[in-house]
Amino acid sequence: MTYSEQHLRETADVVTKLDPGLCEKAVALLAEVRSRGGRLFILGVGGSAANASHAVNDFRKIAGMECYAPTDNVSELTARTNDEGWTTVFVEWLKGSRLNAKDALLVFSVGGGNAEKNVSPNLVTALQLAKERGSTILGIVGRDGGYTAQVADVCIIIPTVNPMNTTPHAEAFQAVVWHLLVSHPALKTAQTKWESTK
């Protein structure tokens, strides 16, 4: 078997193991956030930060939600990293945005954050603030989900089908799941371009 065959078979395996019930729960929570006038903040680091930026576009344009990613402002992100430290870049941004109980956090991460191992501690501190303020918490994460899975109202864990490909599958399926969410009839408010072109 070629690597390409292996990777695609693993991808198909991940699809069959995803929990559609959790996707439905995530849609219901996001619809509640939108109906109460809450905002959605999407957090991610590395490839997950790039996914967060794309997802912000989709949630705003397709699902009609007020949505932001702190990593989209590189000036603030790097200033906070330089002046205050990496651990607090998200939590301080969220404080400045007056995160409250009407709002929601959506975390994209391979590991979900782990303070003890110093892996994505910025996600952990942001999640702690969200818990304190009563914000809704969702996650699309890999492996065991880390701290995100421990505190989220809904956490969709991308199944690990090959430990050597945990990161590529987790980051690829963040996109699959968020596209499912914004395309869901309970969230979708605007037709996408190609589907509207007959």
Contacts for 113-119 with beta carbons within 8 Å, 24 or more apart? 113/146, 113/147, 113/148, 114/146, 114/147, 115/147, 119/146
pTM: 0.95
Closest CA to 167 of 130, 115, 104, 119: 119
| pLDDT on residue 118 | 85
Q: What is the 3-state secondary structure (H, E, C) of 145-182?
A: CHHHHHHCCEEEECCCCCHHHHHHHHHHHHHHHHHHHH
Q: Is residue 70 part of a domain?
A: yes
| pLDDT on residue 159 | 96
Q: Which residue range(s) make up the domain with 56?
A: 25-188
**Span 12-57, pLDDT tens digits:** 999 999 999 999 999 999 999 999 999 999 999 999 999 999 999 9
Q: Is residue 172 part of a domain?
A: yes
Q: Is residue 18 part of a domain?
A: no
* Confidence label for 195 from pLDDT (cuts 50, 70 and 90): confident
Q: Is residue 1 part of a domain?
A: no
Q: Is residue 62 part of a domain?
A: yes
Are 60 and 106 in contact by the 8 Å Cβ rule? The answer is no
Query: CA 141, CA 156: separation in Å to the nearest integer?
Result: 6
Percent of the chain with pLDDT over 70: 100
Total structural domains within the chain = 1
| pLDDT on residue 43 | 98
Q: Is residue 164 part of a domain?
A: yes
| pLDDT on residue 196 | 77
Query: CA 29, CA 36: separation in Å to the nearest integer?
Result: 11
Domain harbouring 127, CATH code: 3.40.50.10490
pLDDT at 197 > cutoff 80: no
**Span 89-130, pLDDT tens digits:** 999 999 999 999 999 999 999 999 998 898 899 999 999 999
